[in-house]
Amino acid sequence: DVKVTQSSRYLVKRTGEKVFLECVQDMDHENMFWYRQDPGLGLRLIYFSYDVKMKEKGDIPEGYSVSREKKERFSLILESASTNQTSMYLCASTQVSMNTEAFFGQGTRLTVV
């Protein structure tokens, strides 16, 4: 059974803290994505990675960074968490071929207080 696993389901952090959200996939997928989802705004792409150590900015990268040291793991980093980063964060992975579906993790609901 294919799997994308996010390290936490719920997380509460304080303003200014450095936050790490981890995502691991066991399907040997090349592409990995981080999204945030907010009511009325849909899924917005933060960053994606198409290979180890390779990354591309999505539509809303400000305030975030990412790390992909191993193929199976893609980390999202909030350098200094702020209350406007309170959101649901979703990780996804896909193979390189064009018609492959994306598999999503279960999501991490982050609250910054």
Write out the residues near other proteins by the rule CB under 8 A.
Answer: 31, 33, 35, 40-43, 45, 48, 50, 56, 58-59, 90, 92, 94, 96, 98-99, 101-102, 104-107
Instruction: For the CB of residue 80, give the shortest distance to other proteins in the complex, in Å.
Output: 26
In the complex with other proteins, which residue's Cβ is closer, 53 or 98?
98
- E strand map for the chain: 4-6, 10-13, 19-25, 31-38, 42-51, 54-57, 64-70, 73-78, 87-94, 103-104, 108-112
Instruction: For the CB of residue 27, give the shortest distance to other proteins in the complex, in Å.
Output: 14
Distance CA 96, CA 6 (A): 21
Instruction: For the CB of residue 5, give the shortest distance to other proteins in the complex, in Å.
Output: 11
Amino acid at 101: E
